[in-house]
Amino acid sequence: MGNKAFKFRIYPNKEQSAFLAKCFGCSRFVYNHFLRLTTDAYAQSKKSLRYKEWAKLLVHLKSEFEWLTEVNSQSLQQTLKDLESAFTRFFKKLGGFPNLKKRSHRQSFRVPQHFSIDENGFLKLPKMTPLRMVIHREILGTPKSVTISKTPSGKYYACIVTELDIAHAPLNGNKIGLDLGLKEFAIASNGEKFENPRYFHKSLRRLKIRQRRLSRKHKGSSNRKKSRLSVARIHEKVANQRQDYQHKISLKLTCENQAISVESLNIKGMVKNRKLVKQISDVAWGNFLTMLEYKGDIYGCEICYVDRFFPSSKRCSHCGYIKEDLTLSIREWECPECKKVWDRDINAALNLMFFSESKIPLEEGKFTPEQPVERLGITRSSG
Nearest-approach distance from CB 336 to Zn ion, in angstroms: 8
> Which residue number, 119 or 324, has a Cβ lying nearer to Zn ion?
324
> Which residue number, 177 or 369, has a Cβ lying nearer to Zn ion?
177
Nearest-approach distance from CB 365 to Zn ion, in angstroms: 35
Question: Which of 18, 100, 140, 319 contacts Zn ion by CB under 5 A?
Answer: 319
> Which residue number, 167 or 330, has a Cβ lying nearer to Zn ion?
330
297 among known catalytic residues = no
**Residue of 374, 371, 372, 364 lying closest to 297 (CA atoms):** 364
Interactions with Zn ion, residue window 160-199 (CB under 5 A): none
Tell me if 200 sits within 8 A of 278, measured CB to CB.
Answer: yes
DSSP string, 136-157: -SPPPSEEEEEEEEE-TTS-EE
**Residue of 369, 111, 126 lying closest to 256 (CA atoms):** 369
Question: Which of 122, 305, 321, 354 contacts Zn ion by CB under 5 A?
Answer: 321
Q: Does 346 interact with Zn ion (rule: CB under 5 A)?
A: no
Question: How would you class 159 by CB atoms within 10 Å of its CB: exposed for 0-12, middle for 13-18, buried for 19 or more?
Answer: middle
Nearest-approach distance from CB 355 to Zn ion, in angstroms: 18
Non-local (6+) Cβ contacts of 218 within 8 A are 224
Q: Does 51 interact with Zn ion (rule: CB under 5 A)?
A: no
Interactions with Zn ion, residue window 9-38 (CB under 5 A): none
Non-local (6+) Cβ contacts of 243 within 8 A are 287
Nearest-approach distance from CB 23 to Zn ion, in angstroms: 60
Question: Which of 335, 349, 350, 360 contacts Zn ion by CB under 5 A?
Answer: 335
Nearest-approach distance from CB 199 to Zn ion, in angstroms: 38
Q: Does 123 interact with Zn ion (rule: CB under 5 A)?
A: no
Nearest-approach distance from CB 316 to Zn ion, in angstroms: 3
Q: Does 316 interact with Zn ion (rule: CB under 5 A)?
A: yes
CA distance 113 to 226: 37
Q: How many residues bind Zn ion (CB under 5 A)?
A: 7
Residue from 263, 282, 293, 302 carrying the catalytic annotation: 263
Residue from 256, 293, 302, 345 carrying the catalytic annotation: 345
Q: Does 338 interact with Zn ion (rule: CB under 5 A)?
A: yes
263 among known catalytic residues = yes
Instruction: Give phi and psi for 126, each to the nearest 5.
Output: -60, 145
Q: Which stretch binds Zn ion (CB under 5 A): 5-13, 216-224, 314-322, 369-377?
A: 314-322
> Which residue number, 339 or 375, has a Cβ lying nearer to Zn ion?
339
Q: Does 260 interact with Zn ion (rule: CB under 5 A)?
A: no
DSSP string, 315-363: B-TTT--B-TT--TT--EEE-TTT--EEEHHHHHHHHHHGGGGGG--SS
> Which residue number, 255 or 335, has a Cβ lying nearer to Zn ion?
335
345 among known catalytic residues = yes
Q: Does 318 interact with Zn ion (rule: CB under 5 A)?
A: yes
Angle at CA of residue 244, ends 349 and 249, nearest 5°: 25
> Which residue number, 140 or 338, has a Cβ lying nearer to Zn ion?
338
Secondary structure of residue 365 in the 3-state scheme: strand
**Edge-to-edge strand order for the sheet containing 193-195?**
193-195, 184-188, 175-180, 259-263, 302-306
> Which residue number, 8 or 342, has a Cβ lying nearer to Zn ion?
342
CA distance 270 to 273: 6
Nearest-approach distance from CB 358 to Zn ion, in angstroms: 23
**Residue of 252, 284, 94, 264 lying closest to 182 (CA atoms):** 284
Q: Quick count: other Cβ atoms within 10 Å of Cβ 323?
A: 18
> Which residue number, 70 or 334, has a Cβ lying nearer to Zn ion?
334
Q: Which stretch binds Zn ion (CB under 5 A): 144-152, 170-178, 243-251, 328-336?
A: 328-336
Question: Which of 11, 337, 371, 379 contacts Zn ion by CB under 5 A?
Answer: 337
**Residue of 151, 305, 293 lying closest to 236 (CA atoms):** 151
**Catalytic residue numbers, as ranges:** 179, 263, 345
Which residues are at the interface with Zn ion (CB under 5 A)?
Answer: 316, 318-319, 321, 335, 337-338
